[in-house]
């Protein structure tokens, strides 16, 4: 599916759980950690393909809250690769007019990495062709706990009344509140779970699971995911009849 086709069938916000790097390395009999480096190189064509298809937002899961429990050498490698990725992506962000953002708990990251992330966000803040968000040290439950904490602070400061707290207010305090909700969530690697990723933002996302390991994921399979998305009927609690009637009226 390309931008020349009916763009209303494409998602506005795509999220990807990039899973399978270690299994790819084992399959290819590569050294430990080499799969992560291979996986890093897959992101560029995916980003460009999303731009070509006028996707408004792309969010990728690079390092979860739970990944801190991995072997130290792997954590160190992932942090190093994240720094490399930011340095490499900045010229591409400027070339394609992409805003680069990061979500997650930055308190456990190195000062050097935090400063690099902030600089990248500031340099690309006004770019508007697409928003690329990289989730680092991120967890959906952490995200919602942070939102609850912010609202509690506002309640104590008498900026918000308890009776005013509702879904809309809560949604204004989670990460990426200014972006469209996730329409399509893709997980590579063959597992069928969300792994604590964007639990609030992907509440009504269409899910696409593939056994393809992330380093082998291609733009062709991304198009397959877009085609599956286009074929889904998104009802948001309504009946099929209501959806069809609305299409007729429009």
Tell me which residues are annotated as active site: 19, 67
Residue 54 CA from chain centroid, whole number: 16
Place of tokens 């010229």: 91
**Residue 75 near residue 35 (C-beta atoms within 8 A):** no
Residues near 64 by beta carbon (within 8 Å), at least 6 away in sequence: 135, 137, 138, 139, 195, 196, 197
- The tokens for 203 are 């509440």
What is the rounded radius of gyration, in angstroms, for the C-alpha atoms of the chain? 19
Compute the CA torsion angle 172, 175, 179, 180 (nearest 10 deg). -80
Q: Are strands 57-64 and 206-209 parallel, antiparallel or unpaired?
A: unpaired
Of 24, 100, 104, the residue nearest 63 (C-alpha): 104
């Amino acid at each position: 599916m390309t931008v020349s086709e009916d763009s209303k069938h494409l998602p506005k916000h795509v999220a990807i759980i990039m899973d399978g790097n270690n299994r790819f390395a084992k399959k290819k009999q590569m050294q430990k950690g080499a799969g992560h480096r291979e996986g890093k190189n897959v992101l560029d064509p995916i980003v460009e393909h999303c731009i070509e298809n006028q996707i408004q937002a792309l969010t990728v899961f690079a390092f979860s809250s739970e990944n801190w429990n991995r072997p130290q050498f792997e954590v160190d490698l992932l942090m190093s690769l994240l720094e490399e990725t930011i340095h490499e992506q900045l010229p591409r962000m400027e070339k394609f007019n992409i805003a680069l953002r990061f979500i997650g708990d930055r308190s456990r990251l190195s000062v050097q990495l935090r400063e690099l992330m902030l600089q990248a966000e500031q340099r690309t803040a006004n770019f508007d062709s697409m928003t690329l968000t990289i989730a680092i040290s991120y967890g959906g439950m952490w995200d919602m706990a942070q939102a609850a904490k912010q609202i509690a602070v506002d309640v104590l400061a008498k900026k918000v009344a308890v009776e005013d707290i509702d879904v809309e207010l809560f949604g204004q305090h989670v990460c990426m509140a200014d972006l469209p909700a996730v329409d399509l969530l893709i997980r590579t690697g063959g597992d069928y779970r969300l792994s604590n990723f964007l639990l609030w933002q992907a509440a009504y996302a269409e899910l696409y699971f593939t056994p393809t390991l992330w380093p082998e994921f291609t733009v062709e399979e991304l198009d397959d995911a877009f085609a599956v998305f286009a074929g889904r009927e998104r009802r948001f609690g309504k009946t099929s009849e209501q959806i069809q009637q609305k299409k007729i009226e429009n």
